[in-house]
Amino acid sequence: MEENKDIQISLSEINEISFYLNPVPIPIEQIKFGKNLNLEIGFRFEVNPDMDIFKFYTSVNYTIQELTDPIVGIETEIVFEIPNLSSVVKIENGEQLQVENQFLATLAGVCIGTTRGVLAANLKGSPMAKFPLPILNPTEIIENMNKQPEQLK
């Protein structure tokens, strides 16, 4: 991968893959992020190097502590067109991706913000509208994703 190369990134599609909102099992006044409302966020990627396409999937779930089923869930697909994609993404052994952290954090920031907006639109008028996706640090998320399982303990 090339160092210090300017990368042009175009956003070509925003797709909502899935959304659900289950009944809130406790009074809405008792719900608070960091107290009993937990956030789970995950990412997955698809790359088409021949077409310079990078698909970034973001999934978000809200769960109430001590309950097994999430009460809110969304998955979005954000499609980026990136000329010279091969300068920041390498495919090894035909399938394993090696992606620069700074590049990945940039895309994650766009995807988190976009997912926040799609989620807010879906939650409008519901009791859970009071709980938008919090501000998250994409660089920190990517760094934590790269840690080995023993480093996360």
What CATH number has the domain bearing residue 30?
3.10.420.10
pLDDT of residue 153: 39
What DSSP string describes 45-82? EEEETTTTEEEEEEEEEEEETT-SS-SEEEEEEEEEE-
Domain hosting residue 132, numbered range: 10-147
pLDDT of residue 150: 47
Query: Is the overall model pTM greater than 0.85, yes or no?
Result: yes
pLDDT of residue 28: 95
Specify if 4 maps to a domain: no
pLDDT of residue 20: 98
Structural domain count, the chain: 1
pLDDT of residue 21: 98
Distance CA 57, CA 112 (A): 10
Specify if 97 maps to a domain: yes
Specify if 127 maps to a domain: yes
Instruction: Walk along the chain (153 residues) in steps of 10 and give the mean pLDDT of each run.
Output: 72 98 94 95 94 97 92 98 92 81 95 98 97 97 77 42
Strand partners, 19: 74
pLDDT of residue 140: 95
Specify if 3 maps to a domain: no
Specify if 114 maps to a domain: yes
